[in-house]
Amino acid sequence: MDFNTLCIHGAENNTHSTGAISVPIYQSATFAHPGVGQSSGYDYSRLQNPTREYLEKCVAALERGVDALAFSTGMAAITAFMELFSIGDHIIASGDLYGGTVRLFENISRKNGLTFDFVDTSDIEGVKALIRLETKAIFVETPTNPMMQVTDIKAVAELAKAHNLLVAVDNTFLTPFYQLPLTLGADIVIHSGTKYLSGHNDTLAGFLVTNREDLSEKLRYIYKTTGACLSPFDSWLLIRGIKTLSLRMERQQENALKIAEWLTTQEKVRKVFYIGLKNHPGYEISTRQATGFGSMISFEVDTESTAKQILEGIQVILYAESLGGVETLITYPMLQTHADVPEEERLSRGINNCLLRMSVGIENVDDLIADLKQALQ
């Protein structure tokens, strides 16, 4: 089935007989038993809810997985993933990660006895050099947030399988519309469903998707035990958002490429990080493993005052955290997404006081460029 059709009809709606086109919101915490030792298939919404089940089946189909688990947030999904590991286990992770993920690994997971090495995962030899007896997984973000580094997922997966390691890929930026990590050898795909899957900046959600039955069973146990499941109403919002995923992604990418090219011509802009530009170091890998480039742009301006001038001068674009919605948002990573990353570490990654990150929406691209132009002047 074509991806566009999957977005609309990704799972069979067999939970009701009314003929309703929109999946019902089963706003129920619990479900009655038909008899002793009998179940309708639903017992308690922490275990499963009909609305959430439909969403999970849809996301699993989009990612080519056997199971998807919908969480209350993207960070809740990553937290549950970390419960697969035990004290003393070692994980290799992309060096340029979303700040919230770094905060979780450094302040919660380390406290729980896990160890980490952060490395540029586009450097396969560098990753290989860090593997040791205690290593259990490689955690990849590609493209990374906010420096847009690209990792060869297939190469990492081949290395991991040779050492019996799990591979988890955060696919938030490209979504299954542009990138399918499970088909490239990954074991688990992670999403902040808050972003492109929802697409409207109106709810929080997270996903773990796997194509392995054994991992599905383990994750389902963790899921029901820790309990950070997505509510029925929020599940419905995600179902509604996914219906327009492909349309939004196409328009957002079209806008992003035009804006990225325009930014490269601006005197006050020093660097533009967009994987759809042919001079991006990850361009070739991107064209090989993905069908598109997405709509995330980071760019470095000449001075801190220019960065603040843009943030305070924009009129159409919104200065706000998050990404992936229909509205174009601009973020100041050093004060927002990566504020908790130690300054020395942050600067070593290029996240300085001149760096801005933009999530391009579906507005008229000429209006967006005009807004950036007036803010730069």
Out of 225, 242, 259, a domain closes at 242
Number of domains observed in the structure of the chain: 2
Are residues 205 and 310 both part of a single domain?
no
Q: Does pLDDT of 15 surpass 70?
A: no
Are residues 26 and 157 both part of a single domain?
yes
Please name every residue paired with 272 in a beta bridge, in sequence order, or none if there are none.
299
pLDDT at site 18:
83
pLDDT at site 345:
80
pLDDT at site 201:
97
> The domain containing residue 39 runs over which residues?
3-242
Please name every residue paired with 319 in a beta bridge, in sequence order, or none if there are none.
330
Are residues 90 and 170 both part of a single domain?
yes
Across 311-336, average pLDDT = 95
Per residue in 222-260, pLDDT (tens digit) is 999 999 999 999 999 999 999 999 999 999 999 999 999
pLDDT at site 341:
80
Across 271-280, average pLDDT = 98
Are residues 80 and 159 both part of a single domain?
yes
Percent of the chain residues topping a pLDDT of 70: 99
Q: How far is CA 321 from CA 36, 47, 81, 194, 306, in A?
A: 50, 31, 24, 12, 19
**Separation of alpha carbons 70 and 208, rounded Å:** 7
Token reading at 225: 């035990």
Are residues 78 and 227 both part of a single domain?
yes
Out of 179, 208, 242, a domain closes at 242
Omega of the bond leading into 34 within 30 degrees of 0 (cis): no
Are residues 204 and 270 both part of a single domain?
no
Are residues 20 and 70 both part of a single domain?
yes
**Separation of alpha carbons 203 and 143, rounded Å:** 23
CATH of the domain at 137: 3.40.640.10
Report the Cα–Cα distance between both ends of the chain, in Å, rounded: 49
Q: What is the pTM of this model?
A: 0.96
Q: Which residues are catalytic?
A: 46, 98, 170, 195
pLDDT class of 12 with cuts at 50, 70, 90: confident
pLDDT at site 343:
80
Are residues 179 and 36 both part of a single domain?
yes
Among 38-42, 80-84, 141-145, 189-193, the range scoring the smallest mean pLDDT is: 38-42
Are residues 123 and 263 both part of a single domain?
no
Per residue in 156-202, pLDDT (tens digit) is 999 999 999 999 999 999 999 999 999 999 999 999 999 999 999 99
Are residues 154 and 215 both part of a single domain?
yes
Q: Does pLDDT of 368 surpass 70?
A: yes
Are residues 66 and 174 both part of a single domain?
yes
CATH of the domain at 351: 3.90.1150.10
**Separation of alpha carbons 141 and 98, rounded Å:** 8
pLDDT at site 337:
78
pLDDT at site 75:
98
Token reading at 352: 């300085």
Token reading at 161: 């399988």
Q: Find where tokens 């992770």 sit.
A: 93
Across 126-132, average pLDDT = 98
Out of 212, 242, 272, a domain closes at 242
Per residue in 203-228, pLDDT (tens digit) is 999 999 999 999 999 999 999 999 99
Are residues 288 and 144 both part of a single domain?
no
Across 73-93, average pLDDT = 98
**Separation of alpha carbons 10 and 2, rounded Å:** 10
